[in-house]
Amino acid sequence: MPLPIWCFLIGIAAGSGPCFATCAPTVVSYVGGLKRGWREGLRASLVFSLARIPAYLLLGVLVAYLGTRLNEATSFHQLQSAVNVLAGALLIIAGALLAILVRPLLGCCKASPRLAPIRDVRLLAVLGFLFGLSPCAPMMAVMARVGIESATVALGAICMVLFGIGTALSPLLLLGAGSGMLSELLARRANVFEVFRRA
């Protein structure tokens, strides 16, 4: 099977399995707490999923350039560890802002969107990119094969982009839309929605 097709198929499998399990809590929490309706939920989950593709492109260029030596490069593993810490810290900060600050700021003044940027879907784009740089077993397997078999940097980049597109075609899109729909339904009951939002 040609390498690009293999990468795409592994992306689809990973997007319905490990990637879905890893990314779903982030997307569902964000959408459930801040978005209304299935369209907003779908848009938010799509932004998150597509934001991983530039990270995969970058990694594809790196592995194709470095080839099999990439797995021996300790600096690359240190970079991935730093990305994990950064993504985790950003999630904790976002969760704290969502649970504590967003509601009081909403009625405060017109400046509240600037004071609570967590409401902006661009936060999900940043998280998506960071998640794309975070190591997982399927991604490492694809990177290893791409590093070994890519004859050119362009082929490595294309393979990793196809992997990213495959992961974006996942049940995460449906889950995001469903979370937005549930959030819209619960918003009609303020007390129930407040518990849901904080959870």
Write down the pTM of the prediction. 0.69
The pLDDT value recorded for residue 6 is: 92
- Residue among 140, 188, 142, 187 at smallest CA distance from 162: 142
Secondary structure letter of residue 116 according to DSSP: -
User: Higher pLDDT residue, 162 or 109?
Assistant: 162
Is residue 26 within 8 Å of residue 92, measured between CB atoms? no
Distance CA 87, CA 129 (A): 9
Which residue would you say has higher pLDDT here, 97 or 9? 9
12: pLDDT confidence band, cut at 50, 70 and 90? very high
pLDDT of residue 87: 59
Task: Please provide the average confidence, as pLDDT, over all residues in the chain.
Answer: 76
What are the structure tokens assigned to 131, written together? 């998640």
Whole-number Cα distances in Å, 175 to 28, 33, 78, 185: 7, 14, 33, 15
pLDDT of 98 over the 60 cut: no
Instruction: Return the higher-pLDDT residue of 111 and 120.
Output: 120
Instruction: Compare 83 and 17 and report the one with higher pLDDT.
Output: 17
Crossing angle between the packed helical segments 172-186 and 18-34, to the nearest 10 degrees: 20
Sequence-distant (≥ 6) Cβ neighbours of residue 126 within 8 angstroms:
51, 90
**CB of 129 closer than 8 Å to CB of 52:** yes
Find the range with the poorest average confidence among 11-15, 48-52, 57-61, 184-188: 184-188
pLDDT score of 96? 63
Domain boundaries, the chain: 3-198
